[in-house]
Amino acid sequence: MKKLILTTLSIILLPIAAYSAETRIGFTAALSFFTSDGTETTKSSGEKNSTEIEEDVIVPGIFIEKENDNGFTFGFEYNPGEAELGSGTGDNDDDETSGANKASAEVSGHMSFYGLIPTGPGFVRLGIVRASVDTTETLATGTKYGDEDVNGFVIGYGVQRSGDGNFVRLEGTYTMYDDLTFNGSLDGDSVRNKVDAEIDALAIKLSVGKNF
């Protein structure tokens, strides 16, 4: 279903960029509320351990946009740096090993192609996103998880005010990422842990920029 949504958004957004009348560049800061749900399946026992982590973080970004004569806008946004998804330290999680477990995850290299569609007094944002989810862990099981790239889509609504070649924009967005699966490293018995994760984010964004 998510792949169908991404394909549909691509078909909708690409024609918007065909006829551009105005260029904008700007900076944005988003107060983002990430929710991550994960389930780890441990090695040969198959025991499942689930958790939900919520993390609030400010995510900066830069963007460039083209607006056509009908008021439709096509843009690209890049968010440098990393955004923490959560971290924690826990006790032994199963009967296979003993010792504390430490783990953290973050999003990096986040980028978005999007369209802004005039609606009422404001605009609707529709976009596709791509990012890397990076993990760092010290687990008693000895498992190491790699990093994974993830796609998703973003929807939102906002308002914009312009004057003297400048503009300011306020909007709320919701981003849903594709489900992720992290496969742990193989142990001596050629079995591995697995983590299935779901990530989404609500954000309040303030943007400022210049028209050309």
Q: What is the per-residue pLDDT across 100-138, written as a single tens digit (0 to 9) for each?
A: 556 677 889 999 999 999 999 999 999 999 999 887 765
Of 86, 205, 106, 196, nearest in space to 156 by CA: 205
Whole-number Cα distances in Å, 155 to 42, 124, 128, 169? 36, 7, 9, 15
Q: In whole angstroms, give the CA distance from residue 29 to residue 79.
A: 9
Q: pLDDT tens digits for 8-35?
A: 555 455 554 455 578 899 999 999 999 9
Residues 6 or more apart whose Cβ sits within 8 Å of residue 205: 28, 29, 30, 31, 156, 158, 169, 170, 171, 172, 173
Residue 187 tokens read as 């142990």
Q: In whole angstroms, give the CA distance from residue 12 to residue 130.
A: 18
For residue 65, the model assigns a pLDDT of: 93
Report the Cα–Cα distance between both ends of the chain, in Å, rounded: 38
pTM: 0.79
